[in-house]
Structure 1
Amino acid sequence: MNIKYIKFACVGGIGFIVDVSTMIVFSTLMPLFVARTLAFLFAVNSNWLLNRRITFKQQQFEHNSGLLQEWSKFLCSSCIGAIPNLCCYWLLVSGLSLTGSAAIIAIVPGIILGMLINYFLADRWVFSK
């Protein structure tokens, strides 16, 4: 198995914790879909920082894009990965009329689907040589 993918998955695990914990906090303060979007943005920033320091550290020395450009690419690729992530969440919450903790658990399938897309884009575009 690819060690870089394992690192990416571990960083994603940390991002998942950031995502879920911010989702829990924000869902008590605002509507679920707003809370979900904000939690996603917190997780994206966390994942970008950790992936550039851990997963794609070697590639940092092999390419010369600026931080803002790299962050923009990561945000863009994460948004592409978020499409199936958020659609899956919306389908589960709306289709099954989930609320409360069940609505929070509904983020798991979408995160897994989005992770596969995010890895491919991060490896081939964001942090590419």
Structure 2
Amino acid sequence: MSRQFLRFVIAGVIGFVVDAGALYLAMKAGAGPYVGRVISFLLAVFATWQINRRYTFDRQTDRSIWREWHEYLLAMAFGGVCNYAAYVVAIHMLPDASWTPLAAVAVGSIAGMGVNFLSAKLWVFRGARR
């Protein structure tokens, strides 16, 4: 399980880069830090799903890819609630600076990681061999 968790963390780091990059792009396009975060979170979930289904867990071939995506999105939404709550708290507590959204995304990502790993392992990719 430790190897699997390490792969999950690596996927999460890549997801963090996608999340933070998309957030800054969304904010530059006019979305605020809250709407931008919803957009960036969805993009990060898609990116981590692609990585986790191929490298962290063995994809179960008896389910449709659409069902797997919907289950993964729902599972990540549970961790996403923890993630977003921590993000909002961090936005309010940190100084108003250009690096604040990035730091808040990091705080949120760490807050949701454990919930996300367990829901992916025990529900979405249950029975994976890795």
* TM-score normalised according to structure 2 size: 0.89
Q: Matched residue of 1:106: which SS?
A: helix
Aligned to 1:122: 120
Aligned to 1:19: 19
Contact 2:15 2:47 in 1 (8 A): yes
1:22 & 1:77 partners in 2: Cα distance? 21
- Write the deviation string for residues 87-129 of structure 1: whole angstroms up to 9, x where unpaired: 1111121344635321332111110111111000000000112
- Write the deviation string for residues 5-61 of structure 1: whole angstroms up to 9, x where unpaired: 11111111111111111111111121111111100000000000110010002xx25
Query: Please, which runs of 5 or more residues in structure 2 have no aligned partner?
Result: none
- Determine what percentage of the aligned residue pairs are the same residue: 29
Q: Which structure dedicates a bigger proportion of its chain to helix? A: 1
Aligned to 2:48: 47
Contact 1:93 1:103 in 2 (8 A): yes
TM alignment of 1:1-80, pairs within 5 A: 2-29=2-29, 30-57=31-58, 60-61=59-60, 64-80=62-78
Q: Which amino acid in the other structure matches residue 23 of structure 1?
A: L
1:44 & 1:51 partners in 2: Cα distance? 10
Contact 1:93 1:99 in 2 (8 A): no
Number of aligned positions between the proteins: 126
Greater CA drift, 93-102 or 103-112 = 93-102
Q: Which amino acid in the other structure matches residue 76 of structure 1?
A: L
2:86 & 2:34 partners in 1: Cα distance? 13
